Amino acid sequence: MYLQRIDIPHKKGNARGAFTVYPIGDMHIDQRGFAEVRFRAYIKAICQDPNAIAVFVGDAIEGHTPRHKHFNPDVIRHSFLGRMDEYVRACLDECAKLFAPLQKAKIPLIIVEGNHDVFLDSVGFAAMLADRTGGHYLGGEGFVTVYSGLPGSRRRTVLYCTHGFGGGRKIGGSVNAMRDYMQSFKADVYIAGHTHQGFTQIIPLLGANEQGNELVKKHLALIRTPSFIERAVKNVVTYAGRKGFPTSDES
């Protein structure tokens, strides 16, 4: 379990220390279905927010090289097929370029390792990507404690970040898997990807104050990140197509 602390400098006009968490979902940049135009537009929007924190939940790559049983040359982008002998380096170079605007804008970036990122065995792709981009490596899961606001009255917000599991043809499985995290991890915000189906759910928790004379309410946020991989590409039958999964969330 990884732990990461981020201190957001106080900015004029933001006494409460408000900040925005931008979840970045599965990319699979080596697939022909990678929605690069949409991804670049999203990164540009993040860079325009001076109070942004970016959380990438993993699966930067597909990771299915020719030695893997699920390798499909019709799915891998042609620009990568010619560089299979230096596949990892090619993927790292591409990812570093895509995330570079965040580093230039000094946006804190959290990087979580996805299941596809570890298909390359012991390469450590996500860790190397964090090193290349100046991001905070969180392994497969971890907590990010964000401190913000005025000195002397700093706010503390805890994010639980993981690549995630679960889901399928219906979004209910994704919701249930997210709610399961609440039983095991204590946080204010729970962020996961994996399912390629994005949603946000705000859950109010009711209770009493320490004196027992006031009703208190605390809000928890569950965030499943939308992906940056297209469900359908002309002349390509993807894994989603073979399994009959629905179209990816593009919000």
The segments of the chain whose pLDDT lies below 70 read: 121-122, 168, 250-251
Q: How does pLDDT run across 85-126, given as a tens digit for each residue?
A: 888 899 999 999 999 999 999 999 999 999 999 887 667 999
Angle (deg, nearest 10), helices 87-104 and 125-133: 40
pLDDT at 175: 86
pLDDT at 251: 57
Q: Is the pTM higher than 0.85? A: yes
pLDDT at 167: 73
pLDDT at 122: 62
Residues sharing a CB contact under 8 Å with residue 44, sequence separation 6 or more, in sequence order? 101
What per-residue string of b and e applies to 123-153 under the rule 16 or more CB within 10 Å gives b? bbbbbbbbebbebbbbbbbbbbebebbeeee
DSSP letter at 86 equals G
